[in-house]
Amino acid sequence: AIEALLAGATGDEMATAARLLADGGQVVLAARLFGTALAADPANVRALVGRGALLTAPEFAAFEDLLTEGLRALDRAVELAPDDPEARFWRALAAARLGLFDEALADLDHLATLDVPPGLLAEAARLGDEVRAAAEGQ
């Protein structure tokens, strides 16, 4: 039904709609719409980041195949746009959730060299502190 409403929409428009659905708690619809956006444009970084962030969220942690797909989407987003702050942040967060602290810190260190919106910069700094503390506690 949602796809019919977005017929003719660009990949970016679909990614924006999917993000709004996810923010509104409609995660299944959001995941489907991110998938539709990627089917239309497999190199759409916004859709890759959105789908990756969604599928690596704690709500999906029990579903290893979805987690793997989410990580692949984030890896692809960083591959396509290595200086995209959101791609770096969400991949760092996913890595941190999986205990991959070195990988998370590498993304956060790269993120610190970029022009980042203040809100995202603050979140990245908080995440960096948490990751460093967790890494020291290993």
Domain that holds residue 41: 1-81
DSSP secondary structure string for all residues of 6-68: TTT--HHHHHHHHHHHHHTT-HHHHHHHHHHHHHH-TT-HHHHHHHHHHHTSGGGTT-HHHHH
* Residue 119 structure tokens: 């809100």
Looking at residue 58, its pLDDT comes to 87
Query: Which H or E element spans position 90?
Result: helix 85-97
> What CATH number corresponds to the domain at position 74?
1.25.40.10
Looking at residue 59, its pLDDT comes to 84
Domain shared by 1 and 66, yes or no: yes
Beta strands in the chain (DSSP E): none
Domain shared by 97 and 67, yes or no: no
Total number of domains in the chain: 2
Domain shared by 14 and 77, yes or no: yes
Q: pLDDT 10s per residue in the chain (138 long)?
A: 566 677 788 888 999 999 999 999 999 899 999 999 999 899 999 999 999 999 999 888 778 888 889 999 999 999 999 999 999 999 999 999 889 999 999 999 999 999 999 999 999 999 999 999 999 987
Residue at which a domain ends, from 54, 81, 108: 81
Domain shared by 4 and 72, yes or no: yes
Domain shared by 68 and 126, yes or no: no
